[in-house]
Homo-oligomer: A and B are copies of this chain.
Amino acid sequence: MSWPRFEPKNPAWRAAATSTFDLQPAMRTLGISIVRLEPGEVDLAMPYSQAFTQQHGFVHAGIITAGLDNACGIAAFTLMPADTGILTVEFKTNLLAPARGERFLFRARVLKPGRTLTVCEAQAFAAQTEAESLVATMTGTLMALPLRHPPGAADVPAAAAR
């Protein structure tokens, strides 16, 4: 299947997505950064950190999932209108190989954008000096929530709004 091109609804999609990403302390703590950003697509990168490993020295599946989930969220957010909040409804992760590497890439793209729900796919790769290998996949559902107030601290989407 050839992949669709998406038209962003928010002219400031790049700034909006970057700013939402930057507002997440968890991304800073994990050292995750945006390395590519297009409408409906994002690549994130994360260095290996021993602090986030499991009993065999591989990166913990939950940390890999944090990267995949965030990639899905940012990819979905690039296609949402202005004045919209985003939350994750659900995701499913398959772990395909140990997350062993110097660096990890999380690549997400929108599969189906929608007024309320957006479905994304993402893949996690472990990168060594010369090669990349697929370590995990995600399918996730994200929800757009209209914000009723100007952006700021009161901006939290109500749980009841799901």
Chain A residues near B (Cβ < 8 Å): 1, 20, 23-26, 28-29, 50-57, 59-63, 65-70, 85, 87-98, 111-112, 114-117, 119, 121, 123, 134, 137, 139, 141, 143, 155-157, 159-162
CA distance A162 to B121 in the complex (A): 17
CA distance A88 to B155 in the complex (A): 29
Number of copies: 4
Q: Do the beta carbons of A92 and B24 come within 8 Å of each other? A: no
Interface of A is mostly: mixed
Q: Do the beta carbons of B117 and A162 come within 8 Å of each other? A: yes
Q: Do the beta carbons of B157 and A56 come within 8 Å of each other? A: yes
Q: Do the beta carbons of A97 and B112 come within 8 Å of each other? A: yes
